[in-house]
Amino acid sequence: MAKHDKTDIGISTILNPVPVVMVSCAGKDPESPEQRPNIITVAWTGTINSEPPMLSVSIRRSRHSYKLIMDTGEFVVNLVSKSLCKPCDLCGVKSGADIDKFEACGLTAVKARDLQYAYAIKEAPVSISCKVRDVTALGSHDMFIADITAVTADSYLLDDNGRLCLDKANLVAYNHGEYFLLGQKLGFFGYSVASEEVMRKRMGK
């Protein structure tokens, strides 16, 4: 049994685990090398509102992607499956100012649903089209607050009733500098008070 005596470990961005996502974007002239479709890896992201659906991504002003998103007000949040984990890391250590990351990762840029300029990653299981509503300077990062304007998902993730089964997507989470594959289902929203019948249906027990 763990002993819960506490040690002060200093103030830091220790909130974990967090999602890690591949944010795709492009400038208004995608044929030019400076504005071609690009991908930036972002861990400082989160859902921030339900109605209307909104999310945020926090990006340093020095990033190549920062300029593209500022220019168009558009980006796509692509969820990261196991097979995208290495490309995701690469997009987080190389700049689109130096290389074509779609080409380097062997990924396909497809026009994003409902957006004019941004591209989505075809190989991502879920792609979330976003339009920037506001930009807040926080310090090291600027937080882009955005409306979700469309969501696409690979059809293998939908069951016969059209329900999204995200547990089939082999998604990756980021925990204290390391990537982890989501694995074992422990419960579901409200399972602590669920009936035996619901538990059997949802958990197989």
Ligand X SMILES: Cc1cc2nc3c(=O)[nH]c(=O)nc-3n(C[C@H](O)[C@H](O)[C@H](O)COP(=O)(O)O)c2cc1C
User: Which chain residues interact with ligand X by CB under 6 A?
Assistant: 20, 38, 40-44, 58-60, 63-65, 89, 92-97, 141, 174
What letter would DSSP give residue 72?
H
Neighbour count for residue 176 (Cβ, 10 Å):
10
Q: Cβ closer to ligand X: 42 or 169? A: 42
| Shortest Cβ 56–ligand X spacing (Å) | 10
Report CA-CA distances (Å) from 73 to 59, 76, 132, 133, 174. 13, 11, 5, 8, 26
| Shortest Cβ 59–ligand X spacing (Å) | 4
Q: Cβ closer to ligand X: 20 or 126? A: 20
| Token output for 85 | 């984990």
Q: Cβ closer to ligand X: 7 or 13? A: 13
| Shortest Cβ 157–ligand X spacing (Å) | 24
| Shortest Cβ 44–ligand X spacing (Å) | 3
Report CA-CA distances (Å) from 113 to 68, 130, 170. 18, 10, 23
| Shortest Cβ 174–ligand X spacing (Å) | 6
The burial class, CB within 10 Å (0-12 / 13-18 / 19+), for 76 is: buried
Determine contact, residues 76/64, Cβ cutoff 8 Å: no
Q: Which residue is nearest to ligand X (CB)?
A: 92
- Mapping DSSP to helix (H, G, I), strand (E, B) and coil, where does residue 83 land? helix
Determine contact, residues 204/195, Cβ cutoff 8 Å: no
Q: Cβ closer to ligand X: 103 or 158? A: 103
| Shortest Cβ 118–ligand X spacing (Å) | 13
Q: Cβ closer to ligand X: 2 or 15? A: 15
Q: Cβ closer to ligand X: 68 or 126? A: 68
